[in-house]
Structure 1
Amino acid sequence: MVAAKLDVAGAAPAYFRRARPLPSLFTVLALGYLALAVFWPHSIPYQSLGPLGFFTKYLVDHHHTLLHRGYWLAWLIHVGEALYAMVLCKYKGITNVRARLLWFLQTFVFGIASLSILIAYRPKRHKQT
């Protein structure tokens, strides 16, 4: 993990933390599976996946438009989360361009698994005398 660097004012301009592995893995697998169902439905072994395969086959056969729109909606939500991460960086005093870019990219790919870490971050503020 990248450690926070404090400046004189007490803000953390280079604060960045990697997203937790399990939620990140779940996000990548879910988006990957959805992409397979939307763009390459013939490549999914439906019989081997039990109830998930049965449900996916039903959606592919009867509601492909819904799947397609849901796929793009999921990415649109990730874009919104990434943009919100930029707003949070500014609000929380993260001024380092590299740290902001890392937050944007990580939140775009992993969504709430990354954004929740940034939301929970409480920068230390020094008292003004």
Structure 2
Amino acid sequence: MGTVTGCETYFQRSKLFWCTVITLSFGYYTLAVFWPHSIPYQSLGPLGFFTKYLVDHHHTLLHRGYWLAWLIHVGEALYAMVLCKYKGITNVRARLLWFLQTFVFGIASLSILIAYRPKRHKQT
């Protein structure tokens, strides 16, 4: 039976590109749901036209989708805690960082944790 070593404090930040894309997307989505009059639709081309259509005709769907997206992020963050335990990440700080990063950035963070393969060493 092997034991996990060297992974107790494992944490890796998400790529800056995905953090930026997710932050800007959620920020835009937040504006569309809560402050739709603050968006300069005409200046955004097809994205503005599409957003204006959704705000005018499907605002309830936008609102529900917004909270569903956050609910999915909560689920991903909780799953990150399960993965931390499974992969032998026992350090409280590392686990908290995984939880927070996955809550905010979702699959961009969770995919790193899923791909992580801790080294296993045989006990003698």
Q: TM-score by structure 1 length? A: 0.82
Whole-Å Cα distance in 1 between the matches of residues 22 and 112 of structure 2? Answer: 20
Higher RCO (Cα < 8 Å, 6 or more apart): 2
User: Alpha-carbon deviations, 1:20-57, whole Å to 9, x = none?
Assistant: 1xxxxxx6656611100000000000011111100000
Whole-Å Cα distance in 2 between the matches of residues 18 and 9 of structure 1? Answer: 21
3-state SS of paired residue (1:50): helix
Deviation at residue 120 of structure 1 after TM alignment: 0.4
RMSD over aligned CA atoms reads: 1.6
Following superposition, which runs of at least 4 residues in structure 1 exceed 3 angstroms of deviation?
Answer: 27-31
3-state SS of paired residue (1:126): strand
Alpha-carbon spacing, 1:28–1:109, altered in 2? closer, same or farther (3 Å): farther
**How do 1:70-81 residues align onto structure 2 when only pairs under 5 Å count?**
70-81=65-76
Counterpart position of 2:23: 30
Aligned length in residues: 113
Unaligned runs of 5+ in 1: 1-7, 21-26
Whole-Å Cα distance in 2 between the matches of residues 36 and 103 of structure 1? Answer: 27
Unaligned runs of 5+ in 2: none
- Structure having the higher strand fraction is 2
Whole-Å Cα distance in 2 between the matches of residues 28 and 76 of structure 1? Answer: 19
Using the aligned pairs only, state the percent identity.
92
Deviation at residue 128 of structure 1 after TM alignment: 2.6
Whole-Å Cα distance in 2 between the matches of residues 9 and 46 of structure 1? Answer: 53
**How do 1:1-129 residues align onto structure 2 when only pairs under 5 Å count?**
9=5, 14-20=9-15, 29=22, 32-129=27-124
3-state SS of paired residue (1:42): helix
